[in-house]
């Protein structure tokens, strides 16, 4: 099974504690040892926001700010690479082709950002599309896709399952409300819809949850089921039985 795991910067390194990065690396390593081909994409988190905020005050333009954000995502990717040691490609691939080639060789690819004007949500969806992944997992600090921002609205409803077209509609609605944050952004949702990659959005603050989602489809987040796909995916561990 081929999986792309997207780990938000605030999930991987909210405070630069090495144990947290190690715990995520352990999960990725275990999945790889069990025979899974793994690509990972790491976000920038609070550190990226701080750098971008400071550079904005200094007069940097939006593309320059995005480039700073990309550098921070790649710095976080290097942290995860350090914890994965020899199993990971030694530096963050800067395009999908290099990441796909690393995965093809049997390495774990750990990417950060790629190009200005987007976030690592979209990078993850594009990598999943490029490598023809069976599954894309977003490990975020929110436990799924909600009808509204759960931090702002009491009656925000969590979706257990959405088809990809519904995901696009929900995210488009959320992005219309200034200030409300969506667990994946609209470009990512559109790429998921286009590629038809099965996707899970879950709370990744406990890295083991990522492993359970990949192995068994067990999770408490939101399943994004491609249009026309079977309701039940045959998860790869069960596949082998």
Shortest spacing between CB 53 and ligand UTP, in angstroms:
11
* Residue 10 near ligand UTP by CB under 6 A: yes
Helix or strand holding residue 98 (H, E): helix 96-105
**Angle value at C-alpha 139, between 193 and 90, nearest 5 degrees:** 100
Distance in angstroms (rounded) separating the CA atoms of residues 5 and 166:
22
Distance in angstroms (rounded) separating the CA atoms of residues 239 and 216:
10
Shortest spacing between CB 109 and ligand UTP, in angstroms:
15
Is there a contact between 38 and 222 (Cβ–Cβ < 8 Å)? Answer: no
* Residue 8 near ligand UTP by CB under 6 A: yes
Tell me the residue length of the chain.
241
Distance in angstroms (rounded) separating the CA atoms of residues 127 and 5:
10
Which of 116, 150, 196, 226 is in the footprint of ligand UTP by CB under 6 A?
Answer: 116
Is there a contact between 81 and 90 (Cβ–Cβ < 8 Å)? Answer: yes
Shortest spacing between CB 43 and ligand UTP, in angstroms:
3
Which of residues 45 and 92 has its CB atom nearest to ligand UTP in the complex?
A: 45
Cβ neighbours around 2 below 10 Å, total: 16
Distance in angstroms (rounded) separating the CA atoms of residues 82 and 79:
5
Shortest spacing between CB 99 and ligand UTP, in angstroms:
12
* Residue 9 near ligand UTP by CB under 6 A: yes
Nearest residue to the partner ligand UTP, using Cβ: 69
* Residue 118 near ligand UTP by CB under 6 A: yes
Shortest spacing between CB 183 and ligand UTP, in angstroms:
8
Binding span for ligand UTP by CB under 6 A among 15-23, 107-115, 148-156, 161-169: 107-115
The site for ligand UTP (CB under 6 A) is made up of: 8-10, 43-45, 48, 65-66, 69-70, 73, 113-121, 123
């Amino acid at each position: 099974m081929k999986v792309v795991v997207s780990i938000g910067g605030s999930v991987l390194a909210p405070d630069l504690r090495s144990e947290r990065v190690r715990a995520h690396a352990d999960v990725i390593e275990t999945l790889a040892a069990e025979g899974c081909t793994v690509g990972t994409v790491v976000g920038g988190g609070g550190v990226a926001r701080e750098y971008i905020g400071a550079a904005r005050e200094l007069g940097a333009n939006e593309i320059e700010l995005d480039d700073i954000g990309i550098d921070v995502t790649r710095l976080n990717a290097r942290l995860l690479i350090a914890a994965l040691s020899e199993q990971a490609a030694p530096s963050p691939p800067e395009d999908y082709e290099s990441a796909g080639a690393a995965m093809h060789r049997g390495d774990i690819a750990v990417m950060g950002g790629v190009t200005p004007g987007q976030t690592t949500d979209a990078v993850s969806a594009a990598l999943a599309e490029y490598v023809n992944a069976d599954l894309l997992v977003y490990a975020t600090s929110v436990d799924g896709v909600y009808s509204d921002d759960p931090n702002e609205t009491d009656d925000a409803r969590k979706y257990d399952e959405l088809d990809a077209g519904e995901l696009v509609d929900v995210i488009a609605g959320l992005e219309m409300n200034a200030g409300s944050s969506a667990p994946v952004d609209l470009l990512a949702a559109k790429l998921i819809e286009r590629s038809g990659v099965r996707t899970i959005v879950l709370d990744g603050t406990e890295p083991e949850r990522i492993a359970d989602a990949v192995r068994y489809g067990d999770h408490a987040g939101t399943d994004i089921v491609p249009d026309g796909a079977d309701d039940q995916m045959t998860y790869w561990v069960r596949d082998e039985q």
